C-alpha cells in the first residue's frame, strides 16, 4: 500500500492515500466541505467554486530542501492569499486546511449569491425542496438578503420534458454539469449537454427520442437542485412527508438495492401509496445507481387489474369465493393428483416462496419444474461468485469474459460495472454472435455463429490446456483464429477471472452446457473458488438463482410434462401468454399470480398473490448474494404472500409448513440447505460503513440516493470455496448444423413481461413484436423494412414487423423475448409476407 | 351588623338592575371578534378566481398539530387551478386537531391560507371535523372565473407572486 499522506483539517489530523482530494479527505475525517459540482463518483472539474477553503502548505527552504521552522520549532505554514477549491486540490504532506474561518464563510456567501442571481427561488413548488443542496447551503452560508431585483433575473423555460421520463426546469439549473458528466463519463450515453454560454447556458438533449438513456433517472438523484425531476414523482409529495422502506429490485438478476418512498394518499382512498423508487447504496451490488426499469417499472404493483380474491370456475365462469373454499378445493384435488401433480414456478418468486411451494409439491409426491429458458444454476452453485467478491475490485491484470448475452439490455448495472472495470484496467472479452453495446470496451471482441458459444469456450479451454477436448473437430476452426489464441493467453495470465454467461442463441440444454464449459474454463485457469472470480449467470428473472438453489430445475420438455400432468399448479409465470398454442388442459389447473394472465384465464382456481412491495422476502442475485426486501406498504386485502398460500394449501393437506413470516421460512431453509446455513434475516440486515459516505444530512456530496441501513445481504459460498470437489465433466461438443434462416430470441430491457406492461410511463419504450434482420439478408428473403411477416417456427407462428439492423448476422433474424412471440429457443423459421406498406 | 350587610348586597343588586347587561344572547346575538382573532381557515383566491394555494404543503409542515393534509398535482393551461405548475388537488384541515395557532398562515408563501373570524365549529361526527378544500375555498370574487380555468399559455408561469422589492 502506498504511503499515506498526513494533513490537518480544522485541527483534525487525517491520513489518506496520496491523490485523494481535500473534499474526500475531509469527509473521511467527518468534516463536510460543501460542494455542488464535485461528486465522489466522478472526476472533479472545479466548476462551481462552492468548495472554497483556506489551504496552507509547509514552507520548504529551496536551498536545503528542509522544512522551515518557526522559532518555537513548529513547521512554518504558508497560506495562499486566495481561497482554493478543495475538490480539485489533491492532498499533500503537512497541508493545513481551514474550513470554518470567516474568510471561507464570506467566500461561500458570495458564491451562493452568484448562483442565486437567476435562481427562481420556487422552493415551495420544487420537488427537490426539502432535500435540496442549494436550499440547505443557502440556509447555512447564504445571505438573508438579495441584492438583485427580480427583473434582472434570466427567465427560461420551466417545463422542458427532456424525454418522457425526465423533466428539466432550466431556471433552476446551476450549471454544475453533474448530469452531463454522469451521462458522458459514467454511463457513456452522451445524450445531454450544455448549449450556449454564461447566463444563457442551458441543458439540451441531443438524442431522438429525447434523453435516450436507460440510466437517465440517476441524474435526478445527483442534480444538486430541482432542475431535473422524474415524470412519476413530479409534484407527488414533499420529501419530508415520505416514509422509506428498503427493498430490492425484482426486474433482473443484479438485485439493485432500492428505497421505496411511500405516503398515505387521498386519491388512493386513503391507502398507503408508493410515490417513488430511489436507489439505496450497496457498493457490492449497485453502488448508488439503478436503471430506469428498476426506477419506473414498479407501477405494475399499483394496477387496478390486480386480483384481490380467489376465483373458482363454476359453470364455466371464474367466480369469486372465500379463501377457505378455494384452499379446500385445491388441497383436495392436489391430494388426489398425487404424483400426477406438476408445479411450475418462475424466478420471480422469493426464496421463501420457492422453498414452501417446493416442500408442498414434494410432500404430495408431485413433480416440480422451473419455468425458464436458461440452464446452469447448479453449475453456478459450484463455481459462482465466491464470498467476498465485488466487481468493483476488478482492475489491472484481471479479465472479464462476457458470452452470449447483451448485458446493457439484460442487466444494465452489470454492464455499467463491467465497463467501469475496463476503465480501471481490466481486460474485457465480449463474445457474441452479434455486436452489442459492450463491444466498445472490449479488448477482444469475438464473433461466432449462433450455436457455437459452447465450442468457443471449449476452444479456449483447449488452447490453455491441450489435454482437454482433445481432437474435438467442432472447435478446430475456432482455435485456429488468432484473436481466440490471444484471448486464451489473456485468460491464462489473468489474476482474477469473472465470466458472465447468458442464453442468447441457446435453449435450456445448450446454456446448461455453456455453464459447464465456462466452469471448466474457470477451473482450468485455476480461478474457481477464489474471491473476485466466478461464473455469473445473466438470468431472465431476478431470483432464478434462488430457484435453482431451492432445488428447482427446468423440465427437459415442458409441453410433455404439462401433458402428462393431471393437476397443474402454476405460480408466477404465464406460459399461455408466452406461447398461446401451448395446450394447457389438465383436469385441474391452479394459477397463482397478481393478475388474470392468459394462463389464469384458463384456470379452474385462481389464487391472488402479493407483489414484492407488499410483503417480505429474500432474493438471490446472479452474484449469489442473498438480499432481503421489506414490505413498503400494507398488502391489499384479499391477496396473500405466495409462501403463505402454499403453507395454507399444505395445512389443508395435513402438511405443516411455516406460514407466519418469511423470516421463519428462511430459518427452515437455513436448517435444510447447507449453502444457506449461515443465512438469517438478522444476518441479512447487517450493514457496514461504505465509501463514499452518502445519504446523510450533507445531500450535496452524494445526492439523494439512500444510505443503506437495512442490510447489505450476504454472498453465499460456492462449492469449490467450501472445499468440495469440482464435479463438472467435459461435455460432448456438437458441430453446428442445420439449414435455413435461424430465428434467435433476444432479451430487451423494456420487454412486455407481466411486470412491465401495466407501467403507463414506460409504454412508449416497450419493444413491440418486431423481427430484426440485416439489409442483405432481408433482400435475400425478399422482405423489406416495415413489412408485416408471418414467422413460422415448426408448428407455431407469429406476426412480426420487419426492422433492419446491421448488427444482425447473416442467415439470422432476431426476435424479442416476452412480447408474445412463441419462440423461446433458437429455431429454424420460414417467413411469409402478409402486409406491405 | 347583619342587616347592614344585607342592605349593601341588595343595593348592589338594585344598582345592577339599571346597568347595561354583559351577557350576550348567543346565538341570537353575536359579538364581533378582535382583528387578530384566529378562527376557521379560508383558502383565498386571486381576483381572477385562481386559487392562491399552490399545494406546497408548507402549512402542513409548520402545523404543530399535524392537522393539515395536502396532496398536490400539476396544473396545465387547459386545466388551471392556481398560477404556476403546482396546485392542491386535496386540501384538508382536521378542525378537531387544529389549535388555531396560525402557524399555517405564517408559513404560506402565497397568503393562501388565512385564519378567519368563524369560531362556530361544532360537529356531531368526527368526520365532519375534516374541512375539505371545497369547504375552505373562498367563493369566486365578482368578475373572476371558477377553477379549473382554461388559460392562455405563458401567462401564469410563476407559483409565488413576484417579489418587486427584494429588500421588502
Ligand atoms: S441540471 Fe442539475 S445536474 Fe445538470 S447541470 Fe443543471 S444543476 Fe447540474
Ligand atoms: S439493473 Fe436490474 S436490478 Fe438494477 S435497477 Fe435495473 S432492472 Fe433492477
Ligand atoms: S392554525 Fe395551527 S394547528 Fe391549526 S392548522 Fe394552522 S398550523 Fe395547524
Ligand atoms: S395553503 Fe399555502 S402553505 Fe399550504 S399548501 Fe397552500 S400554498 Fe402551501
Ligand atoms: S468547484 Fe469544487 S465542488 Fe464545485
Contacts of A266 in chain B (CB under 8 A): 69, 71, 89-90, 92
- Band (pLDDT 50/70/90 cuts) for residue B22 is confident
Which stretch of A23-27, A456-460, A816-820 has the lowest confidence by average pLDDT?
A: A816-820
Q: Report B:96-135 residues touching A (Cβ under 8 A).
A: 109-110
Q: Give the per-residue pLDDT at A739.
A: 85
Residue A62 has pLDDT above 60, yes or no: yes
Above 60 in pLDDT, residue B168? Answer: no
pLDDT (0 to 100) of residue A2:
74
**How many Å apart are CA A375 and CA A404, to the nearest integer?**
13
Looking at residue A182, the DSSP 8-state letter turns out to be I
Q: How far apart are CA A443 and CA A244, in angstroms?
A: 42
CB contact under 8 A, B166 and A124: no
Look up residue A304 and give its three cell numbers.
387496478
Q: Quick: pLDDT tens for B40-55.
A: 999 999 999 999 999 9
Calculate how far, in angstroms, residue A349's C-alpha sits from the geometric centre of ligand 2. Answer: 16
Interface pTM, i.e. ipTM: 0.90
Residue of A443, A486, A437 whose CA lies nearest to A189: A437
Instruction: List, edge to edge, every strand of the sheet that includes B130-131.
Output: B68-74, B86-94, B130-131
In A35-190, DSSP assigns E strands to 52-58, 77-79, 84-85, 96-98, 160-161, 166-168
> Mean pLDDT highest for which of A153-162, A323-332, A814-823?
A323-332
Nearest to B85 among A125, A241, A265 (CB): A125
The structural domains of chain A, ordered by start, are: 5-100 (3.10.20.740), 311-372+547-715 (3.40.50.740), 377-538 (3.40.228.10), 741-835 (2.40.40.20)
Could you tell me what percent of chain A has a pLDDT over 70?
A: 100
Q: Among all chains, which residue has been given the C-alpha cell 408466452?
A: A578
CA torsion angle B142 B144 B147 B152 (round to 10): 170
Q: In this complex, do B61 and A122 lie within 8 Å of one another by their Cβ atoms?
A: no
Helix (H, G, I), strand (E, B) or coil at A675: helix
Residue A583 has pLDDT above 90, yes or no: no
Element housing A672 (H / E): helix A662-672
Among candidates A159, A240, A266 on the partner chain, residue whose Cβ is nearest the Cβ of B71:
A266
Q: Which residue has the cell 473458488?
A: A529
Question: Which of B84, B86, B112 to mutate to test binding with chain A, by most A CBs within 10 Å of its CB?
Answer: B86
Compute the distance from residue A149 Cα to the ligand 4 centre, in Å: 25
Record: contact B54-A124, CB cut-off 8 A: yes
Contact A492, A470 (CB under 8 A): no
For the cut 90, the answer to whether the pLDDT of residue B162 exceeds it is no
**Closest among A26, A16, A14 to A698, alpha carbons compared:** A26
Contact criterion met (CB < 8 Å) for A121 and B160: yes
Mean pLDDT of chain A: 94
Confidence of residue A710 (pLDDT cuts 50, 70, 90): very high
Interface of B with A in 138-167 (CB under 8 A): 157-160, 162-167
Chain A touched by B72 (CB under 8 Å): yes
User: What's the mean pLDDT in A126-138?
Assistant: 95
- Please give the backbone phi and psi of residue A508, each rounded to the nearest 5 degrees, phi first: -60, -50
**Closest C-alpha among B142, B167, B120 to residue A147:** B167
CB A236 within 8 A of CB A275: yes
Say which residue the cell 430465428 belongs to.
Answer: A743
Mutate to test the interface with A, among B69, B71, B74 (most CBs of A within 10 A): B71
Contact A34, A48 (CB under 8 A): no
φ and ψ at A102, to 5 degrees?
-60, -40
With bands split at pLDDT 50, 70 and 90, how would you rate the model's confidence at A11? very high
Give the model's confidence band at A738: pLDDT under 50 very low, under 70 low, under 90 confident, else very high.
confident
The dihedral region occupied by A211, where left means phi > 0, alpha psi between -120 and 50, and beta the remainder, is left
Best residue in A118, A121, A125 for a mutation probing chain B (most B CBs within 10 Å): A125
- Compute φ and ψ for A135, nearest 5 degrees: -60, -50
Q: Please report the residues numbered 244 through 263 in chain A whose beta carbons come closer than 8 angstroms to any beta carbon of chain B.
A: none
Give percent of chain A with pLDDT exceeding 90.
87
Tell me how far CA of residue A785 lies from CA of A426, A434, A764, A779, A813, in angstroms: 40, 20, 20, 10, 13
Task: Report the run of H or E that residue A492 belongs to, with start and end.
Answer: helix A482-493
| CA A801 – CA A793 distance, rounded (Å) | 16
pLDDT at position B127: 92
Considering just the CA atoms, what is the radius of gyration of chain A in Å? Answer: 29
pLDDT of B1 > 70? The answer is no
> Are A125 and B166 in contact (CB < 8 Å)?
no
Rounded Cα gap, residues A291 and A742, in angstroms: 32
Q: Give the DSSP letter of residue A266.
A: G
Cell 442571481 maps to which residue?
A: A117
Contact flag A238-B56 (C-beta cutoff 8 Å) = yes
* Alpha carbons A253 and A384: distance in angstroms, whole number: 13
Assign A434 to helix, strand or coil.
coil
pLDDT for residue A733 is more than 90: no
More confident residue, A65 or A291: A291
CA of A383 to the centre of ligand 2 (A): 23
A125, A150, A267: residue with CB nearest B162: A150
Give the C-alpha distances (Å, rounded to integers) separating A381 from A169, A186, A519, A536, B69. Answer: 49, 32, 11, 10, 51
Alpha helices, DSSP H, located in A52-169: 102-115, 133-141
Q: Rounded distance, CA A588 to CA A266, Å?
A: 42
CB A684 within 8 A of CB A711: yes
User: Residue B120 and residue A69: Cα distance in Å, rounded?
Assistant: 79
- Smallest Cβ–Cβ distance between B166 and the set A125, A148, A241 belongs to A148
Cα A220 to ligand 5 centre (Å): 19
Judge whether A285 and A620 are in contact, CB under 8 Å: no
Q: Cβ of B164 and A267 within 8 Å?
A: no
**pLDDT on residue B165:** 61
A241 touches chain B (CB under 8 A): yes
| Residue A290 CA, ligand 2 centroid: distance in Å | 6
Give me Rg for the CA atoms of chain B: 23
First to last CA, chain B: 70
Three cell numbers, residue A754 = 407481466
CB–CB of A219/A178 below 8 Å?
yes
pTM of the model: 0.95
What are the extents of the domains in chain B?
34-136
Name the CATH topology of B34-136: Alpha-Beta Plaits (3.30.70)
Distance (Å, whole) CA A526 – CA A757: 44
Rounded to whole angstroms, the Cα distance separating A668 from A355 reads 9
pLDDT in tens, A643-659: 999 999 999 999 999 99
Residues of B in contact with A238 (CB under 8 A): 56-57, 61
Give residue-wise pLDDT tens across range A153-168.
888 999 999 999 999 9
What confidence tens digit (pLDDT) does each residue in A178-231 have?
A: 999 999 999 999 999 999 998 899 999 999 999 999 999 999 999 999 999 999
CB B82 within 8 A of CB B74: no
Q: Is the pLDDT of residue B166 over 60?
A: no
Residue B89 at interface with chain A, using a CB cutoff of 8 Å: yes
User: Closest residue of B to A144, CA-based?
Assistant: B167
Residue A787, pLDDT > 70, answer: yes
Beta-carbon pairs below 8 A across chains A and B: 64
B127-148 pLDDT tens trace: 999 999 999 999 999 999 999 9
Q: CB under 8 Å to A591, separation ≥6 — which residues?
A: A570, A571, A597, A599, A600, A602, A603, A605, A606, A607
Question: Are A417 and A407 in contact, with CB atoms under 8 Å apart?
Answer: no
CA of residue B60 to ligand 3 center, whole Å: 8
Residue of B nearest to A126 (CA): B56
Ligand 2 centroid vs A256 CA: distance in angstroms?
5
d(CA A182, CA A189): 9
Q: Where are the alpha helices (DSSP H) in A199-285?
A: 217-222
Cβ B86–A145 below 8 Å, yes or no?
no
pLDDT tens-digit series, residues A256-309: 999 999 999 998 889 999 999 999 999 999 999 999 999 999 999 999 999 999
How far apart, in whole angstroms, are the C-alpha atoms of residue A104 and residue A31? 14
Q: Which three cell numbers stand for residue A497?
A: 477471472
Surface of A (118-177) touching B: CB under 8 A? 120-122, 124-125, 129, 145-150, 158-159
Contact A145 B167 (CB under 8 A): yes
| Contact in structure between A535 and A384 (CB atoms under 8 Å) | yes
Specify the residue for cell string 467478491.
Answer: A389
Cα(B74)–Cα(B159) distance, integer angstroms: 11
The pLDDT-based confidence of A121 (bands split at 50, 70, 90) is confident
| Chain B residues close to A236, C-beta within 8 Å | 72
pLDDT of residue B23: 87
Pocket test for ligand 2, best of A257, A289, A293 (most atoms within 8 A of CB): A293
Q: Does residue A172 register a pLDDT over 90?
A: yes
Mean pLDDT of A373-394: 96
Crossing angle (nearest 10°) for helices A453-464 and A482-493: 60
Q: What's the order of all strands across the beta sheet hosting A160-161?
A: A160-161, A166-168, A228-230
Q: Is residue A353 helix, strand or coil?
A: helix
Give ligand 2 pocket residues (Cβ under 6 A).
A 249, 251-252, 254-256, 286, 290-291, 293-294, 411-413
Q: What average pLDDT does this structure show over A380-389?
A: 95
Amino acid at each position: 500500500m502506498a504511503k499515506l499522506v498526513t494533513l490537518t483539517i480544522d485541527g483534525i489530523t487525517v491520513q489518506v492515500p496520496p491523490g485523494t482530494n481535500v473534499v474526500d479527505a475531509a469527509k473521511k475525517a467527518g468534516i463536510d466541505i460543501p460542494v455542488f459540482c464535485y461528486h465522489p463518483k466522478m472526476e472533479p472539474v472545479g466548476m462551481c467554486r462552492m468548495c472554497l477553503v483556506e489551504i496552507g502548505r509547509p514552507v520548504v527552504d529551496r536551498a536545503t530542501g528542509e522544512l522551515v521552522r518557526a522559532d518555537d520549532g513548529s513547521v512554518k505554514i504558508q497560506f495562499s492569499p486566495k481561497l482554493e477549491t478543495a475538490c480539485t486540490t489533491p492532498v499533500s504532506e503537512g497541508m493545513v486546511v481551514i474550513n470554518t474561518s470567516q474568510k471561507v464563510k464570506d467566500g461561500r456567501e458570495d458564491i451562493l449569491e452568484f448562483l442565486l442571481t437567476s435562481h427562481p427561488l420556487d422552493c415551495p413548488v420544487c420537488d427537490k425542496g426539502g432535500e435540496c443542496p442549494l436550499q440547505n447551503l443557502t440556509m447555512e452560508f447564504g445571505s438573508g438578503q438579495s441584492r438583485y431585483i427580480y427583473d434582472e433575473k434570466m427567465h427560461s423555460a420551466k417545463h422542458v420534458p427532456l424525454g418522457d421520463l425526465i423533466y428539466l426546469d432550466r431556471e433552476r439549473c446551476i450549471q454544475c454539469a453533474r448530469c452531463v458528466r454522469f451521462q458522458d463519463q459514467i454511463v457513456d450515453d452522451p445524450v445531454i449537454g450544455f448549449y450556449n454560454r454564461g447566463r444563457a447556458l442551458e441543458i439540451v438533449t441531443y438524442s431522438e427520442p429525447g434523453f435516450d438513456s436507460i440510466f437517465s433517472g440517476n441524474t435526478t438523484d445527483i442534480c444538486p437542485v430541482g432542475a431535473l425531476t422524474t415524470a412519476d414523482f413530479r409534484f407527488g409529495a414533499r420529501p419530508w412527508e415520505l416514509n422509506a422502506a428498503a427493498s430490492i429490485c425484482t426486474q433482473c438478476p443484479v438485485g439493485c438495492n432500492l428505497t421505496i418512498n411511500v405516503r398515505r394518499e387521498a386519491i388512493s382512498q386513503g391507502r398507503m401509496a408508493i410515490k417513488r423508487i430511489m436507489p439505496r447504496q450497496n457498493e457490492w451490488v449497485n453502488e448508488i445507481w439503478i436503471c430506469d426499469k428498476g426506477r419506473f417499472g414498479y407501477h405494475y404493483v399499483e394496477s387496478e387489474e390486480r386480483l384481490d380474491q380467489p376465483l373458482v370456475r363454476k359453470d364455466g365462469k371464474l367466480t369469486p369465493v372465500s379463501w377457505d373454499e378455494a384452499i379446500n378445493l385445491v388441497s383436495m384435488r392436489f391430494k388426489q393428483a398425487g404424483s400426477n401433480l406438476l408445479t411450475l414456478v418462475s424466478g420471480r418468486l422469493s426464496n421463501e416462496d420457492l422453498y414452501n411451494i417446493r416442500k408442498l409439491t414434494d410432500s404430495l409426491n408431485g413433480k416440480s419444474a422451473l419455468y425458464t429458458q436458461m440452464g446452469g444454476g447448479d453449475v453456478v452453485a459450484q463455481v459462482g461468485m465466491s464470498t467476498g467478491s465485488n466487481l468493483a475490485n476488478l482492475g489491472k491484470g484481471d479479465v472479464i469474459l462476457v458470452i452470449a448475452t447483451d448485458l446493457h439490455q439484460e442487466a444494465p448495472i452489470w454492464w455499467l460495472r463491467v465497463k467501469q472495470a475496463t476503465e480501471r484496467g481490466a481486460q474485457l472479452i465480449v463474445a457474441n454472435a452479434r455486436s452489442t453495446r459492450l463491444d466498445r470496451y472490449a479488448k477482444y471482441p469475438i464473433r461466432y455463429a449462433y450455436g457455437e458459444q459452447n465450442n468457443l469456450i471449449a476452444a479456449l479451454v483447449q488452447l490453455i490446456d491441450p489435454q482437454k477436448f482433445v481432437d474435438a473437430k467442432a472447435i478446430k476452426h475456432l482455435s485456429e483464429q488468432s484473436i481466440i489464441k490471444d484471448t486464451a493467453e489473456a485468460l491464462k495470465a489473468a489474476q482474477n477471472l469473472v465470466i458472465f454467461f447468458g442464453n442468447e442463441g441457446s435453449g435450456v440444454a445448450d446454456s446448461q452446457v455453456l455453464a459447464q464449459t465456462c466452469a471448466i474454463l474457470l477451473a482450468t485457469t485455476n480461478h474457481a473458488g477464489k474471491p473476485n472470480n466466478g461464473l455469473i449467470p445473466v438470468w431472465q428473472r431476478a431470483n432464478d438463482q434462488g430457484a435453482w438453489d431451492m432445488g428447482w430445475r427446468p423440465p427437459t420438455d415442458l409441453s410433455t410434462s404439462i401433458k402428462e400432468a393431471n393437476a397443474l399448479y402454476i405460480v408466477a409465470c404465464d406460459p399461455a401468454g408466452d406461447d398461446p398454442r401451448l395446450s394447457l388442459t389438465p383436469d385441474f389447473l391452479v394459477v397463482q399470480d397478481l393478475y388474470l394472465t392468459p394462463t389464469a384465464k384458463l384456470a379452474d382456481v385462481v389464487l391472488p398473490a402479493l407483489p414484492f412491495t407488499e410483503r417480505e422476502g429474500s432474493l438471490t442475485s446472479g452474484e449469489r448474494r442473498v438480499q432481503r426486501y421489506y414490505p413498503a406498504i400494507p398488502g391489499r386485502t384479499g391477496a396473500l404472500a405466495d409462501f403463505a398460500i402454499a403453507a395454507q394449501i399444505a395445512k389443508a393437506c395435513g402438511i405443516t409448513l411455516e406460514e407466519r413470516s418469511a423470516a421463519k421460512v428462511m430459518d427452515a431453509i437455513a436448517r435444510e440447505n447447507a449453502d444457506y446455513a449461515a443465512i438469517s434475516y438478522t444476518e441479512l440486515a447487517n450493514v457496514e460503513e461504505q465509501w463514499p459516505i452518502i445519504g446523510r444530512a450533507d445531500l450535496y456530496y452524494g445526492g439523494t440516493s439512500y444510505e443503506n441501513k437495512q442490510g447489505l445481504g450476504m454472498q453465499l459460498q460456492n462449492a469449490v470455496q467450501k472445499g468440495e470437489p469440482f464435479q463438472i465433466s467435459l461435455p460432448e461438443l456438437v458441430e453446428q448444423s442445420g439449414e435455413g434462416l435461424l430465428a434467435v430470441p433476444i432479451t430487451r430491457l423494456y420487454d412486455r413481461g407481466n411486470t412491465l406492461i401495466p407501467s403507463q410511463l414506460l409504454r412508449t419504450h416497450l419493444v413491440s413484436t418486431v423481427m430484426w434482420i440485416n439489409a442483405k439478408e432481408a433482400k435475400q428473403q425478399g422482405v423489406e423494412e416495415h413489412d408485416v411477416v408471418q414467422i413460422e417456427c415448426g408448428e407455431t407462428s407469429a406476426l412480426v414487423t420487419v426492422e433492419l439492423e446491421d448488427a444482425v448476422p447473416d442467415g439470422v433474424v432476431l426476435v424479442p423475448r416476452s412480447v408474445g412471440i412463441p419462440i423461446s429457443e433458437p429455431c429454424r423459421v420460414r417467413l411469409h409476407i402478409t402486409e406491405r406498406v | 351588623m347583619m342587616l347592614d350587610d344585607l342592605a349593601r348586597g341588595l343595593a348592589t343588586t338594585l344598582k345592577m338592575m339599571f346597568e347595561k347587561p354583559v351577557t350576550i344572547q348567543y346565538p341570537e346575538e353575536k359579538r364581533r371578534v378582535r382583528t387578530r382573532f384566529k378562527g376557521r381557515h379560508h383558502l383565498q383566491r386571486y381576483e381572477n378566481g385562481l386559487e392562491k394555494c399552490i399545494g406546497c404543503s408548507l402549512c402542513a409542515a409548520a402545523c404543530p398539530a399535524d392537522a393539515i393534509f395536502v396532496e398536490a398535482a400539476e396544473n396545465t393551461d387547459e386545466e388551471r387551478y392556481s398560477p404556476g405548475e403546482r396546485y392542491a388537488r386535496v386540501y384538508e384541515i382536521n378542525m378537531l386537531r387544529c389549535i388555531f395557532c396560525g402557524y399555517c398562515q405564517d408559513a404560506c408563501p402565497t397568503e393562501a391560507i388565512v385564519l378567519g373570524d368563524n369560531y362556530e365549529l361544532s360537529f356531531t361526527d368526527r368526520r365532519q371535523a375534516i374541512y375539505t378544500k371545497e369547504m375552505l375555498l373562498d367563493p369566486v370574487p365578482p368578475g373572476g372565473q371558477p377553477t379549473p380555468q382554461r388559460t392562455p399559455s405563458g401567462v401564469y408561469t410563476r407559483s409565488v407572486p413576484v417579489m418587486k422589492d427584494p429588500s421588502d
